[in-house]
Amino acid sequence: MSVVTSPPSTHTPAYGHTGGGSVWTRPGWWRALLWTILAAALAIAVPALVRVIVGWPWWQYEVMSTCLMIATPLGFLSGIGCFDYWGKYIVGSPLPEGHADHGAYSWRDYFKVNTDHKVIGIQYLVTTFVFFLIGGMLAEAFRAQLASPSNTYFTHDAYNGLISTHASIMIFLFIIPAFAGIANFVVPLMLGAEDMAFPRLNALSFWMLPTAGLIMVASLIWGGFNTGWTGYATLSTHDPTDQGTFFNMGVQFAGTSSILTAVNFIVTILTMRAPGMTLSRMPLLVWANLTTSALVVLGTPFIAASQFMVMFDRVMHTKFFNVADGGSTIMYQHIFWFYSHPAVYIMMLPGFGIISEVISVMARKPIFGYRALAFSTVSIGVLGFSVWAHHMFVAGLQPWLRVPMMVTTMLIAVPTGIKIFSWVATLYNGVINLATPMLWAMGFLFTFVIGGLSGIWLAVLPIDIQVSDTYFVVAHIHYVLFGGSVFTIFAGLYFWFPKITGKMYNEKLGKWHFWLTFISFNATFFPQHYLGMLGMRRRVWTYDERFADWNLFISMMAFVLGAATLIFVYNAIISWWRGEPAPDNPWRALTIEWQVSSPPPIFNFDGAPRVVGGPYNYGQPGAKHVVFEEAPVTAAHH
Amino acid sequence: MSAHAETPGHGGPPPGYGTVGHLDRVMMGLIVALASEVMLFGAFFTAFFYVRYTNYPVYPPEPFEIPVDSTGINTAILISSSFTMHWALVSIKRGNRRGLTLGLLFTLIMGLTFLGLQIREYALLHGDGFTPEHGAFASVFFALTGLHGLHVFVGAVLLATCLLRTLRGHYSPAKHMGVELSGIYWHFVDVVWVILYTLVYLLSNGARAPL
């Protein structure tokens, strides 16, 4: 891996590692193992002791599983070293000097708490991709079940476990954090900043993710939580397989991680721009991440609250969602969707940002309507908070809320349409380079428009009532989250692969990956619109005999889709390992991250960047976005 | 490339870098995080009013009552603690260490008193049968006040840390970010309580649903 540079002789490894002591007392995997076990023991012993003292039976499943899943991740995070610096800071102990935990000097540094945004970005991307593969395998498993209506590979509980973990992993552990990973690597560079505003917070955000993911994946050992990724009460509060804790706590850790990252991005973007980088010179990816971060900060507490309430109902027998005792099940859906609808934009806006970058660079034209694109991003963010109840049209929603929610939902098509038209107008008369990232961007335009149009259909009350809980909705969500978000993630991964790894990916394999994915994706999900309209219900392990032919076809295409992803895995590994060294700026892009070496220097810039123009002046000879000034070297200002 | 490890920084930050106006970036981070906290409370307020309006003609149902008066004293204590917190901050800005120590100490004592009285209130309610598992009206009440109590506890831990550091001789008129951050957090917790007390105690006790 070429990100690894030879360690300078004076480099000291991450703080604490030199301070003597054994592997059990300094930050790292051994201490993490030890503290995880200790935390687990305490999480059993303390509640057990209290319960014995009060005179209750010492073991109670809900209490113990909840305590375990709160304590063990915290034990792991402390053990691996996420809190060491703050602990010393708070009590006023001498702090470790310098940048010992910044930057990767060997592959081992990727397995440590590291504060370099580029290392964290790679940690995010690799981790989330592993979860993408796990989530994908779950999908292949239930597509095998669905290949014929009479298959019996899984019981209906196991089937529900598969679909629930599939959705939760894809949403909370792939799409949302994968965008955070790309942004982590790219945004500070685009801003001309040395790092994020809070590098240690950034590290903590990352390390929360694998813990959240392991909690969710671990539930598969017992068959998986099976309440759907929405975990509607009272299904979740009275789930007979009783694995709600896995979902509750997995969501809490993933959610905390994304809130902390969002705080970090907002402060970074507002305070750490290079001189000359006015708001109207920011690349659109930065605008997208600023808006997304605002959505995360303001929205995510609602899903946290909804999962707390479910947990209280399950563990402490409160009555939030118990209708007989004054609770309300619709309330769960209101609070849940108040986050989870904006979450759709959390999962899409960063992708819009990526597409703006890729299309402008690859069409060699200034982006059409920079301001319109930036403002439509912000207005999608604002409008996104006013549409949540369109998920509840058939749930017994207050009737007066229906039409307003239908109207606001349809309104969101306006800023989204502005984006689509701006991208198409950018392509018009462009000198288009059909390299792999551009193929993904064009594929995105195609599939996302289909997903957007079916979204407008679903906003319309009578149609929504007709197709609720059918495969039409499944088709729609996959057209926007796979054809939308995942396509943009791939566009971004190919686009920045040379910058991140310092190697070129294999163009031929990239194109195979795209075309196979594009064809099999559409073949998998387009027929589902049709099946949904005919009344095939989602979240059921079997279906009516008359849908059998289409479902066999869909399952086969789903296997092709899965196989296509392996091409990417192979391409990424082989190119990273022994690919052609990448030039600094293979796409001849103007934004700052392309003006530094590939991969970038450990501290990002050799000179001080000063922004002198817009980021998208392509096709204009001599246009510059940034110049580097050789500044006199003074003392580090950290 | 490796030279960067020895010489981080490329000429120091340009003026205004890392701030917006006079706002330090750590301060700004806290404020953004508090926006998130506002939404967390917002979600529990949503639950409170949802349950109160849709399912209870009279809140709380007979024969229960929300203890407005005794908690009023608690409210006064918490509001006062915001003033002593401010006193502590002003003191260290002027280099008055005694004022800082006493201000933090009084704030901490009042915060802990608030928590103690809230536990007493819970115990009394529990004795009357007003318990979280009795009905949704009580679940939302305990969730809101409990969430706030948890924040008071976190604030008290922050104050205790500040106090400990003060006693060890830390902080100066130029460097007292810890006190400033804890102070903002404490004021936030205080403001949330004033809103909570107004909406949940004063305006909801014995309230009829608008039908």
Give A602-620 pLDDT, tens digit per residue: 989 988 899 999 999 998 8
Q: CB distance B143–A318 less than 8 Å?
A: yes
Specify if A4 maps to a domain. Answer: no
* Chain A hits for B133, Cβ within 8 Å: 316-319
Q: CB distance A11–B137 less than 8 Å?
A: no
Residues A551 and A148 sit within 8 Å (Cβ to Cβ): yes
Q: Answer yes or no: is pLDDT of A303 > 80.
A: yes
- Residue ending a domain, among A578, A597, A620, is A578
Q: How far apart are CA A283 and CA A619, in angstroms?
A: 17
Instruction: Give the pLDDT confidence score for residue A419 in this predicted structure.
Output: 96
Instruction: Give the pLDDT confidence score for residue A90 in this predicted structure.
Output: 75
Complex ipTM, two decimals?
A: 0.92
Q: CB distance A597–B1 less than 8 Å?
A: yes
Instruction: Give the pLDDT confidence score for residue A98 in this predicted structure.
Output: 67
CA distance A637 to chain B (A): 6
Q: Answer yes or no: is pLDDT of A217 > 50.
A: yes
Say whether both A192 and A286 belong to one domain. yes
Three-state secondary structure call for residue A163: helix
Instruction: Give the pLDDT confidence score for residue A154 in this predicted structure.
Output: 93
Q: What number is the average pLDDT over the span A37-45? A: 96
Q: What number is the average pLDDT over the span A19-44? A: 89
Residues A374 and A291 sit within 8 Å (Cβ to Cβ): no
Q: Answer yes or no: is pLDDT of A465 > 50.
A: yes
Q: Answer yes or no: is pLDDT of B207 > 90.
A: no
Instruction: Give the pLDDT confidence score for residue B43 in this predicted structure.
Output: 97
Instruction: Give the pLDDT confidence score for residue B20 in this predicted structure.
Output: 58
Q: CB distance A322–B46 less than 8 Å?
A: no
Specify if B184 maps to a domain. Answer: yes
- Residue ending a domain, among A533, A552, A578, is A578
Say whether both A66 and A165 belong to one domain. no
Q: Answer yes or no: is pLDDT of A19 > 60.
A: no
Look at chain B and report how many structural domains it folds into.
1
Instruction: Give the pLDDT confidence score for residue A15 in this predicted structure.
Output: 45
CB-neighbour burial class of residue B5 (10 A; exposed 0-12, middle 13-18, buried 19+): buried
Specify if A344 maps to a domain. Answer: yes
Q: Answer yes or no: is pLDDT of B40 > 50.
A: yes
Say whether both A63 and A131 belong to one domain. no
Q: CB distance B36–A638 less than 8 Å?
A: no
Q: Which residues pair with B23 in a beta bridge?
A: B20
Which of A507, A504, A509, A500 is closest to A582 using CA atoms? A504
Specify if B168 maps to a domain. Answer: yes
The overall average pLDDT reported for chain B is 89
* Chain A hits for B26, Cβ within 8 Å: 198
CA distance A216 to chain B (A): 23
CA distance A102 to chain B (A): 9
Residues A388 and A341 sit within 8 Å (Cβ to Cβ): yes
* Chain B hits for A399, Cβ within 8 Å: none
Q: Answer yes or no: is pLDDT of A379 > 60.
A: yes
Q: What number is the average pLDDT over the span A417-442? A: 96
Q: CB distance A309–B2 less than 8 Å?
A: no
Instruction: Give the pLDDT confidence score for residue A16 in this predicted structure.
Output: 43
Query: Is the C-alpha dihedral spanning B204, B206, B210, B211 positive or negative?
Result: positive
The whole domain housing B183 covers: 33-49+69-205
Q: What number is the average pLDDT over the span A523-549? A: 95
For B22, the enclosing helix (H) or strand (E) is: none
Query: Is the C-alpha dihedral spanning A116, A121, A124, A127 positive or negative?
Result: negative
For A130, the enclosing helix (H) or strand (E) is: helix A117-146
* Chain A hits for B51, Cβ within 8 Å: 320, 326-328, 331
Specify if A594 maps to a domain. Answer: no
Q: What number is the average pLDDT over the span A141-157? A: 94
CA distance A94 to chain B (A): 12
Q: Answer yes or no: is pLDDT of A53 > 90.
A: yes
Q: CB distance A633–B37 less than 8 Å?
A: no
* Chain B hits for A299, Cβ within 8 Å: 39
* Chain B hits for A636, Cβ within 8 Å: 7-9
Specify if B152 maps to a domain. Answer: yes
Instruction: Give the pLDDT confidence score for residue A631 in this predicted structure.
Output: 59
Q: CB distance B1–A602 less than 8 Å?
A: yes
Q: Which long-range contacts (CB under 8 A, 24 or more apart) does A149-157 make?
A: A149/A542, A149/A543, A149/A544, A149/A545, A149/A547, A149/A548, A149/A551, A150/A542, A151/A542, A154/A541, A155/A541, A156/A540, A156/A541, A157/A223, A157/A226, A157/A241
Q: Answer yes or no: is pLDDT of A520 > 60.
A: yes
Vertex A310 angle, CA A304 and A313, to 5°:
140
Q: Answer yes or no: is pLDDT of B4 > 60.
A: no
Confidence of residue A365 (pLDDT cuts 50, 70, 90): very high
Q: How far apart are CA B111 and CA B185, in angstroms?
A: 13
Q: What is the DSSP string of A357-412?
A: HHHHHHHTSPPTTHHHHHHHHHHHHHHGGG-GGGGGTTTT--GGGHHHHHHHHHHT
Look at chain A and report how many structural domains it folds into.
2
Closest alpha carbon within chain B to A313: B133
* Chain B hits for A91, Cβ within 8 Å: 161, 164-165
CB-neighbour burial class of residue A358 (10 A; exposed 0-12, middle 13-18, buried 19+): buried
Specify if A14 maps to a domain. Answer: no
- CB contact burial A448-461 (16+ within 10 A = b; e otherwise): bbbbbebbeebbee
- The region of weakest confidence among A36-50, A225-239, A622-636, B138-152 is A622-636
Percent of chain A at pLDDT above 70? 95
Percent of chain B at pLDDT above 90? 77
Say whether both A65 and A176 belong to one domain. no
CA distance A580 to chain B (A): 20
Residue A510 belongs to domain with CATH number: 1.20.210.10
Nearest neighbour of A267 by CB, restricted to B10, B25, B140: B25
Instruction: Give the pLDDT confidence score for residue A607 in this predicted structure.
Output: 86
The whole domain housing A66 covers: 23-93
Q: Which residues pair with A611 in a beta bridge?
A: A626
Specify if B141 maps to a domain. Answer: yes
Q: CB distance A267–B29 less than 8 Å?
A: yes
For A331, the enclosing helix (H) or strand (E) is: helix A329-346
CA distance B76 to chain A (A): 28
Q: How far apart are CA A2 and CA A106, in angstroms?
A: 10
List phi, psi (to 5°) of A581: -60, 135
Q: CB distance B161–A328 less than 8 Å?
A: no
Say whether both A81 and A132 belong to one domain. no
Which of A511, A505, A484 is closest to A493 using CA atoms? A505
Confidence of residue A436 (pLDDT cuts 50, 70, 90): very high
CA distance A264 to chain B (A): 7
Q: Answer yes or no: is pLDDT of B211 > 80.
A: no
CA distance B182 to chain A (A): 12
Specify if A615 maps to a domain. Answer: no
- The region of weakest confidence among A132-146, A230-244, B33-47 is A230-244
Q: Answer yes or no: is pLDDT of B7 > 90.
A: no
Q: How far apart are CA A516 and CA A514, in angstroms?
A: 6
Instruction: Give the pLDDT confidence score for residue A223 in this predicted structure.
Output: 85
For B24, the enclosing helix (H) or strand (E) is: strand B23-24
Confidence of residue B17 (pLDDT cuts 50, 70, 90): low
* Chain A hits for B157, Cβ within 8 Å: none
The overall average pLDDT reported for chain A is 92
Instruction: Give the pLDDT confidence score for residue B22 in this predicted structure.
Output: 59
* Chain B hits for A637, Cβ within 8 Å: 9, 12-13
Closest alpha carbon within chain A to B52: A326
Give A93-116 pLDDT, tens digit per residue: 788 766 778 888 888 899 999 999
Q: Answer yes or no: is pLDDT of A389 > 90.
A: yes
Q: What number is the average pLDDT over the span A352-372? A: 96
Give B109-146 pLDDT, tens digit per residue: 999 999 999 999 999 999 999 999 999 999 999 999 99
Closest alpha carbon within chain A to B7: A636
Say whether both A59 and A116 belong to one domain. no
Say whether both A406 and A275 belong to one domain. yes
Q: At what angle do helices A284-311 and A244-271 cross, to 10 degrees?
A: 150
Residue B107 belongs to domain with CATH number: 1.20.120.80
Q: What number is the average pLDDT over the span A378-398? A: 93
Extract the tokens encoding A474. 């499944």
Say whether both A66 and A130 belong to one domain. no
- How far apart are the two ends of chain A, measured CA to CA in Å? 29
Q: Answer yes or no: is pLDDT of A544 > 70.
A: yes
Mutate one of A320, A398, A595, A630 to test the B interface: name it (highest B CB count within 10 A): A320
Nearest neighbour of A325 by CB, restricted to B32, B50, B135: B135
Extract the tokens encoding B188. 């936030």
pTM for the whole structure: 0.93
Instruction: Give the pLDDT confidence score for residue B122 in this predicted structure.
Output: 95
Closest alpha carbon within chain A to B43: A302
Q: What number is the average pLDDT over the span B66-70? A: 91
Which of A13, A202, A10, A208 is closest to A108 using CA atoms? A13
Specify if B195 maps to a domain. Answer: yes
Most distant CA pair in chain A: distance in Å?
81
Q: Answer yes or no: is pLDDT of A489 > 90.
A: yes
Confidence of residue B9 (pLDDT cuts 50, 70, 90): very low
Q: Which residue has the higher pLDDT, A399 or A443?
A: A443
- In the A/B pair of chains, how many CB contacts fall below 8 A? 189
